[in-house]
Structure 1
Amino acid sequence: MRKKGAFLSVAMLLVLALFLTACGDKKTDSKEKDSSKGDTPKLMQMLTGGTSGTYYPLGGQMAKIISDETGIQTDSVSSNASADNVISLANGEADIAFVQTDVIANAIEGTNAFEGKKVDNVQALGSLYPETIQIVTTEKSGIKSVEDLKGKTVSVGAPGSGTYINAEQILEIYGMTMDDIKPQNLDFGESTGGIQDGTINAAFITAGTPTGAVEGLTASAKVSIVPIDKEKVDALVEKYPYYAEDTVEAGTYGLKEDVQTVAVLAMLAVRDDLSEDAVYKITKAIYENPDKIKHDKAKFIKPESGLDGIGIDLHPGAKKYFDEKGVEMK
């Protein structure tokens, strides 16, 4: 009987030890987790874009707002922008990122750059501002139209960027392909640097205007923006509905007249495993504090336009915020 009692006591101690070990493991988890609602991180990484574009300075200011308003320490980092940002989110390498509405739509659908790489674990937080497609050159280049790009050395965006797809689709509307130009995969700073030193003739730059890299070019050259003809704008919008007619206004980069072009929208996307509560707080922090953002694009960041151009599922936390504001998907 004594042996049996001793055996039972040892067994009970082992079970208790295993239970305490399991509890201890839970306490060391770096995230507070509710399996029904997702993760609430204590530290987040926000992916932006190249240091000479619009995403980078905006992201730095937004990260500070999120940190201050929610208590979730958020660090912004530079990246190759939209397409790479989506892949990093899908792989769990970041929590929140700037993307173009067209690029995220392609990722969810598994089309264009995402052929065979369909993404199913990324959702929308909200849209921010128009991203203008600017075909940048100089007055002395002699390039006056998209057709004039034939045979020229043209930057079509950094590898992994949405700019490449924009360039490809605009060339397509004009009956051209990448084979009709000499494409170079450069970021915005490299593009304007190349135009300045004469190694390239023009560059596709998809970013909010004014774009820092293009403004920098005006110090050494008379900048020209190549227009997109009205009928081509209409054809592009009809085939790819995430585009919208846009204008680079006179005075921007020293331009004497408005230049007709198109735009997509910049937006924020998040991993779908972030908790509803966390994303609600992040969304509220961004859309209710645009006055703390020192950039021309801050004027576009407002709840009533926060769902413009969104063609993918909205994260439940973001939906809760926009529902409170009475804003619905269009």
Structure 2
Amino acid sequence: MKQRFVLFTAFLFLLSSILIACEGTKKEDKNTDKAESEYGIESLRIATGGTGGTYYPIGGNLAKLITDSTGVETNAITSEASVENLKLLEEGDAQLAFTQSDIANFAIEGTHMFEGDKVTKLQALGTLYPEAIQIVTTKEAEIHSVADLKGKIVSIGSEQSGTKTNAEQILEVYGMSIDDVNTRHLSFDDSTTALQDGTIDAAFLTSGTPTGAIEGLKATKDIVIINLEDDKLEQLINKYPYYQKDTIPAGTYDSVENVHTAAVQAMLVVHSDISEALVYEVTKLLFESTDKLGHPKGTFITADKALDGTAFDIHPGAMRYFKEKGISTE
């Protein structure tokens, strides 16, 4: 009798587990069907950057917001950032992507690293926040200006990143090229690890501040972020107007004083084939949930400034949102 009772109890447990699993599958299928019928797509991929930058944490939180709100399963993927992201978008391997505004313009025009490889499926969702060019070194390296980088071992960012182009252009206004430094093509995390180990002398990192990789380095090393002199900033902006002056405020990194540098705009772009309805929802989520993006740069993300520096077509879904908010799209 006791054995029958145990078997009956086990049967009930198994049956309830199957029913719960079936219910979960039905719910998942229902969400998938809803996403497919309303938005014409079941899943999205957001191309971000390395885990030590700013794109990745913001992209991860945005992906969760999109999944929870629309039912479209959304994932943030790591990458080498701007250049690779736009190539992923063009190839259909990502539907949303973070990028520097200057790199997006190169992609649309088919210039610089996109020479003969123009990106045609790219539309803007909006600009987000300034990305400071941070030239990071350690106190023991005794590097005090860009001019001191000559002959040093310097990471200029991954091969497929906008940071590399920023480094080349800043060195240019100082009368140098990347041939004047011993270059390494490292991600943000790898750059700061190499600085910690002493295997490089300095690194260029273009990112929203505070940057996680630099915060990690600061915990173990006394760091220096190099100032750009005002006359060099003027030369840079005159030659490449997509740059702007920027100041990294004292205290952004513990014990580091104000740093005067250049910045480009971070922006979110979208594949032109994504439906107007879905891009509208993503745009609304982004600009009305900045407190849920999990990064201090969220305070810079506002719809009022989202079209500043956008020099190419805005996706119709984003356009609809801005018009509803009374924001000029001219």
**Which TM-score bucket, shorter chain as reference?**
0.7 to 0.9
Q: What letter is aligned with 1:132?
A: A
- Structure 1 position 96 matched with structure 2 position 96: yes
Q: Measure how far apart 1:257 and its partner are.
A: 2.3
Q: Kindly state the Cα deviation for residue 40 of structure 1 after the two structures are TM-superposed.
A: 2.9
Aligned to 1:202: 202
Partners of 1:86 and 1:68 in 2: CA distance? 26
Answer whether contact 2:319 2:329 (CA < 8 A) is retained.
no
SS at match of 2:183: strand
Give the whole-Å Cα distance in 2 for the aligned partners of 1:169 and 1:328. 33
For 2:247, the equivalent position in structure 1 comes to 247
Find the aligned partners of 1:195 and 1:134 in 2 and give their Cα distance.
14
1:128 is aligned to 2:137: no
CA distance in 1, matches of 2:313, 2:191: 34
Amino acid at match of 2:327: V
Alignment-mate amino acid for residue 100 of structure 2: Q
- The answer for the alignment partner of 2:114 in structure 1 is 114
- Take 1:225 and 1:326, find their aligned partners in 2: how far apart are those partners? 40
Counterpart in the other structure of 1:170 = 170
How big is each residue's C-alpha offset from its partner over 1:116-136, in whole Å with a ceiling of 9 and x where there is no partner? 111111111111111110000
Indicate the residue corresponding to 1:65 in structure 2. 65
Task: Please give the TM-score of this superposition, normalised by the length of structure 1.
Answer: 0.87
Q: 3-state DSSP class of the match of 1:213? A: helix
Matches within 5 A, 1:46-57: 46-57=46-57
Q: CA RMSD in A?
A: 1.8
The answer as to whether partners of 1:310 and 1:329 remain within 8 angstroms in 2 is no
Deviations 1:251-279 (CA, angstroms, capped at 9, x unpaired): 12224421100111111111101111111
Q: With structure 2 as the length reference, what TM-score do the two structures score? A: 0.87
Q: Which residue in 1 is equivalent to 2:281?
A: 281
Report SS of the residue matched to 2:279.
helix
Shift of 1:246: 0.3
- Provide Cα deviations, 1:77-110, integer angstroms capped at 9, x if missing partner: 1111110000000011111011110110010011
Q: Is structure 2 residue 188 aligned with structure 1 residue 185?
A: no
Equivalent pairs, count = 298
Find the aligned partners of 2:277 and 2:133 in 1 and give their Cα distance.
Answer: 35
Alpha-carbon displacement from aligned partner over 1:168-193 (angstroms, at most 9, x marks no partner): 11111111111010110000011011
Q: Does 1:300 align with 2:325?
A: no
Q: Which residue of 2 aligns with 1:221?
A: 221
Measured at CA, do residues 219 and 95 of structure 1 come closer, stay the same or move farther in structure 2, by a change above 3 Å? same
Q: Are the counterparts in 2 of residues 224 and 255 from structure 1 also a CA contact under 8 Å?
A: no
Asked whether the equivalents of residues 135 and 226 of structure 2 are also in contact (C-alpha less than 8 Å), the reply is yes
* Unpaired segments ≥5 residues, structure 2: 1-32
- Contact map agreement 1:70 1:285 (CA 8 A) in 2: no
What residue in structure 2 maps to residue 24 of structure 1?
A: none
Deviation at 1:294, TM superposition (A): 2.0
